[in-house]
Amino acid sequence: MTDLATLTASDITALIARRDVSAREVTTATLSRIDAQNPALNAIVQHMPDEALAAADAIDAALRRGESPGPLAGVPITIKVNVDQTGYATTNGLVSQKDLIAAEDSPIIANLRRAGAVIVGRTNTPAFSLRWFTRNGLHGATKNPHDATLTPGGSSGGAGSAVATGMGAIAHGTDIAGSVRYPAYACGVHGLRPSLGRVPGFNPSGGDRLIGGQLMAVSGPLARSIPDLALALAAMAAPDPRDPWYQPMPLQGPLAPKRVAYVEAPDGMPVAEPVRAALRAAAETLRAAGYQVEPVQTPPWREAMALQLRLWMAEFRHSNLAGLHAENDPDANFVYAQMTRHCPEIDLHGLMDTLKSRARLTRLWRSFLADWPLVLCPVSGELPFADHRDVASEADFDAVLQAQMPLIATPFMGLPGLTVTTGRHGTAPVGVQLIADQFREDLLLAAGEHLSPHPIPAL
């Protein structure tokens, strides 16, 4: 008999709509899977079985009344602990925020509830969501379900580990520098970073972010099938007036040329051979599907990465420095020290110059994407890292940072990106990244379905 917890969201919604199974049955199966899988992984760190079952019962009751409870009716999902969910602490992996109980839902939670999703738990993140690895002093470390010696990614490492093992068909994550796309890569699933303005965001418990977070941080889904990402995006992207950057853009854009810029080594960065092999295979798959795939010179990556880090660290210094000292998390302390080595403090003139450069780079990239609507590139220059490699030494941190350039650069321009897992190399998952113009997630998802036409089995 099929374990209901291992089904895709698309399959679950079809079964529940036909009344072949109940939302309670799916939720019960998922909670049982969490009980079996989570102790070894520590992906879900805030548990909510009673609330999940009550939400499932409400879905079933609505169906009995002949009502439509939403496009995600009965789908089990997880939420990252850095967004507000009524009645739960928005810890962001911090001991100092263990009692920061949200009084109201953030827009992403409100949208997912209205779509009928059943929240089964909240997932782990590193302290301050600052790393591509997942460990903190409050919740502990999350493990990669493929290989415990590898990182599960970060900062949405709990989300990646949970969805890879069927502890929810869809996982919520956030991404300012790869925090959706990299955990998807490391855990062998798919992850979508939406465009700036696509998915409304705001944490009432924390108030408004500074300009770096406003321009670069977004919420997005992780899942084991590309159609599930599309389903989740549609639910997440419902309007909410609390986000001033939100744009009510259609999810389906006009027809675009099926042209893909092939970028095996952005700006000449080092790229491991297994990653190059995955890119070459993906290029051939897209060509067979009717895409024109050509090596093309793109606008700058390295400059965009440097400016993104400068803006991100300017925000961190302004908003989190006192909290960093109070938390005294060893990992966060080390990572912050290395980041400041790469990003000296900037003054008002430096901030203004950074924002001016953002306009230029955004214009260059969007003009390029008008001719080449998709870019095929690495997620990372390396296979998933050994766990906690970034805090092993300064040299290791620098190697990690260099490999992550394809993840860091594009958020600076507000562009969407998609990680597609395409295979494995030994115990490590491997995949590719697709980049598109703002609000063209539809192009990413269409190409992604060619690269991964079948759901990834839950581990």
The catalytic residue positions are 80, 155, 179
Spatial neighbors of 71 by CB under 8 A, at least 6 apart, are: 13, 115, 116, 231, 234, 235
Sign of the alpha-carbon dihedral angle for 265, 218, 236, 37? positive
- The tokens for 93 are 């992996």
C-alpha distances (whole Å) from 189 to each of 32, 119, 279 are 21, 19, 16
Sign of the alpha-carbon dihedral angle for 102, 107, 110, 116? negative
Spatial neighbors of 296 by CB under 8 A, at least 6 apart, are: 261, 262, 263, 372
Integer-rounded Cα Rg, in Å, for the chain is: 20
State how far Cα 1 lies from the chain centre: 32
How far does the chain reach from its first CA to its final CA, in angstroms? 16
* Burial of 144: CB neighbours in 10 Å, binned 0-12, 13-18, 19+: buried
- The tokens for 350 are 């430096």
